[in-house]
Amino acid sequence: MTLNELSAGQTATISKINAAGSIRQRLMELGLLRGTPIEVVRFAPMGDPIEIKFKGYHLSLRKEEAATIEVSPSPSSN
Amino acid sequence: MTTPAAPLHITSPPAGSGRQAHWLALAGNPNSGKTTLFNALTGLRQKVGNYAGVTVEKKVGRMFNLHGQEVQVLDLPGTYSLSVRSPDEKVARDVLLGTVSDTPRPELIVCVADANNLERSLYLTSQILDLNLPVILVLNMMDLAKAAGVEIDIKNLESLLGVPIIPVVASKEVGLIPLKQAITRELEKPPARTWTLPVEIESEVQALALEFEKAHSMDNATAFANALAALSEDEHTIHENFPKSVHSTIVNAQAKLEATGLDWRDAMVESRYTWIQSICAQVVKQGDPNAVTMSEKIDHVLTHKVWGWITFLGMMSLMFFTIFTVAIYPMQWIEALFGALQSFAGNHLPVGVVRDLICSGVISGVGSVVIFLPQILILFFFIGLLEDTGYMARAAFLMDRLMNRVGLHGKSFIPLLCSFACAIPGVMAARTIENPKDRLVTIMIAPLMSCSARLPVYTIMIATMFPTDAVSNWQKALIMLGMYLLGALVAFALAWLFKKTLMKGRTPVLIMELPPYRIPAIKTVSVHLWNRASTFIRRAGTVILALSIVLWVLMTYPKTPDATPSVALANSVAGKIGHAIEPVIAPLGFDWRIGIGLVGSFAAREIFVSTMGMVFNIEDADETSPPLKDAFNDARRVDGTPLFTPAVCISLMVFYVLAMQCVSTVAVVRRETNSWRWPIFQIFYMTGLAYIGSFIAFNAVRFFFGS
């Protein structure tokens, strides 16, 4: 499952990042690492981009990049 | 702008003390409150310029340490990492590495971290600690961290990192004295790097660092940091960020790392984070992870599917309505002041050319531009507020999809919004866009946003259209909003066209932080406004003053003895130019007198009002000339029909919406794109559009409304 497939309010843990090159590095530098717990806060009013929350801060990225982040959803998330 | 080549007057340091910092840099993540701290430390003792060769803003201020000695403070652009992704980040990195020709390497780095966001902030901090320069770590926004239940063991963090740590609340100027104390202390290098890379990777990085060490006579720690930054580059970014002489060295080192079969790019980030996480585990106690912050509650409304748009449009409308109503009062005061100046000069100067020059040229010329200062300040106040509260990022979040449709980025929204105040900061703000093509498209369309220099033209034209109070301010504001919308819509259409044709390319990536909402520091807002106001007044006092005099001369000479003022004007140089272009602009509804204004406006749009002031007041034999809109309403064509019909007013406004009439913007675009090709292209396409747009507007209004 990838990050863009989660619904708003759902939490998950990052399992793999498939982005390449400098985008991959920037995502990791911002703290999106394997094992990082993450929450999808909301989708922008027009469906894109996505707002996510991790390590205590909020970041927005487009679905296209979110699709490169593999996650395993938390079991009890609603 | 000049930068001290060396630290300033270190004449005789107090007895017993070692070397102290006289040249320090503030570094930190975007939104860490770095600029707020800069303002708190330096107040109004600031100079804003540019780094040599690039157009990144360079802010240097002065402060005094506790021994009363002057310290120069450099506010570096915000960056998340020393692996750079934009021209701004490159400048920050290069200054820290000491490779910028006009900026000496800082003696001390004050690293600003958001206490609420310690883990991510420590990423840049740890890269800075690698540089072997004295560092002070400032933990900003301690009040918010406390409110969120975040506890940081500062003593422990200090001993783990080995550098002084100063908790502050920059917006409330809390903690500045301890910070100044730390700055006054003698310089001390941080302990050697303790985080490590996997052995094979470490040895390759060291090998590259040795090459840098030899080639650039750097110390080993700096060379190692440089090597890490170099290795993180992509093939296509290497040549932008590193000198040609080292390309092959870097590429070879990357190839060797690739040959190890390890995930070396990931390891460079992960190793550092492993170290950071072990530190955070020891010193940070997080607040309740399920607590909903105030910011999140606000975002619930401001980024909501329905309420988000309503508040967005509401804020924009409020901004323009305020410009239209509140500004009236200070504008009346300024008008009265310049009127008094004019009659004072008129009464006290001997009759003659000098009196005419001072009264009709200088005072009315400068006065008719300075009168718009209140509106411009209100606009900058709102934009500053949107930026400092953190709303600007939400606006980009809301707008990204729309911008995406025309192939742009939510981040382009900010330069474009700035361009509503002035295209110059707008074009310069485009530097935060990483992709060069997108940056170019944004620069090409930015001047279509109605800047504050157009406001005088819109204001006077709308006032001329509705000379009585029969029409409410709301309706006037609506017409003005229409002009702003026209510029924006044309800009988006062109962005789409450019992305499809001239500057083909994929839509750039959006990775943008949404910082918590903040109440802006009064100081930040007022420093911002002060810088704007002084720039504007300087401009009015120099460029506009000079142009007013030139235009006055053009409109006065050659003199026609014993002629009525309008005949004299028709025979002047300006009148001849106006007459010469009249056949070209007649289809737009303009006569030669408006032609004079258009010619003058190619220097700067706001000149239009002062030029028109001169054109129509000259026609007035009476010394006490009526306000400009009355003069406009009294103006007649040769056949006796009114000159400024609604169709002409609209046509003129549309022309000003679309035409590129600003020498300063042309100069900035030339500098930003590093060629004459793009600014020249911009002048032609915008002026062509303006001609077509005005022609359509003029004929459409006449067709539908018969006037």
CB B630 within 8 A of CB B467: yes
Query: CA nearest A56 in B: which residue?
Result: B117
* Interface contact A55-B514, CB threshold 8 A: no
Chain A residues whose CB is inside 8 A of the B512 CB are 59-61
Domain B23-184, classified CATH 3.40.50.300, yes or no: yes
Q: DSSP code of A71?
A: E
Q: Which two tokens stand for residue A33?
A: 């690492």
What is the pTM (predicted TM-score) of this model?
0.79
Q: Which of B3-12, B188-197, B409-418 has the lowest mean pLDDT?
A: B3-12
Mean pLDDT on B96-105: 88
What pLDDT does B551 receive?
77
Domains of chain A, each with CATH number or no CATH: 3-73 (2.30.30.90)
Residue A60: what residue type?
S
Residue B621 has pLDDT above 60, yes or no: no
pLDDT band of residue B183 (cuts 50, 70, 90) is very high
Contact: A62, B510; criterion CB under 8 Å: yes
Determine, for residues B400 and A26 on separate chains, whether the beta-carbon distance falls below 8 Å: no
Measured between beta carbons, the chain A residues lying within 8 angstroms of B147 are none
Q: Using 50, 70 and 90 to split pLDDT, how confident is the model at B5?
A: very low
Structure-block tokens of residue B611:
């030029």
Structure confidence at residue B385 (pLDDT): 85
User: Which whole number is the average pLDDT over B166-192?
Assistant: 92
pLDDT tens-digit series, residues A23-53: 888 899 999 999 999 999 999 988 889 999 9
Yes or no: say if B55 and B428 are a contact pair by the CB < 8 Å rule. Answer: yes
C-alpha B414/C-alpha B411 separation (Å) is 6
Instruction: With CB atoms and an 8 Å threshold, state whether A22 touches B304.
Output: no
Query: For residues B70 and A18, is the Cβ–Cβ distance under 8 A?
Result: no
Cα end-to-end span (Å), chain A: 16
Interface mutation vs chain A, best among B268, B311, B401, B438, most A CBs within 10 Å: B401
For residue A45, list chain B residues with Cβ-Cβ distance below 8 A. 303-305, 308-309, 398
CA distances from B281 to B118, B184, B286, B470 (A): 11, 31, 10, 69
Q: What pLDDT digit, counting tens, does each position of B533-583 carry?
A: 777 677 667 777 787 788 788 878 888 877 776 677 778 888 888 889 999
Whether residue B1 is predicted with pLDDT greater than 60 in this model: the reply is no
pLDDT in tens, B317-342: 887 788 767 887 888 898 889 889 88
Chain-centroid distance, C-alpha B303: 25
Strand order in the sheet with B108-114: B46-50, B57-64, B70-75, B23-28, B108-114, B135-140, B165-167
Say what the pLDDT of residue B319 is: 79
Percentage of chain B lying above the pLDDT 90 cut: 31
Give residue-wise pLDDT tens across range B450-492. Answer: 887 888 888 888 888 887 767 777 888 888 889 999 999 999 9
ipTM of the complex: 0.94
Cβ–Cβ below 8 Å for A23 and B234:
no
Sequence ranges of the domains in chain B: 23-184, 199-261
DSSP output for A10-69: -EEEEEEE---HHHHHHHHHTT--TT-EEEEEEE-TTS-SEEEEETTEEEEE-HHHHTTE
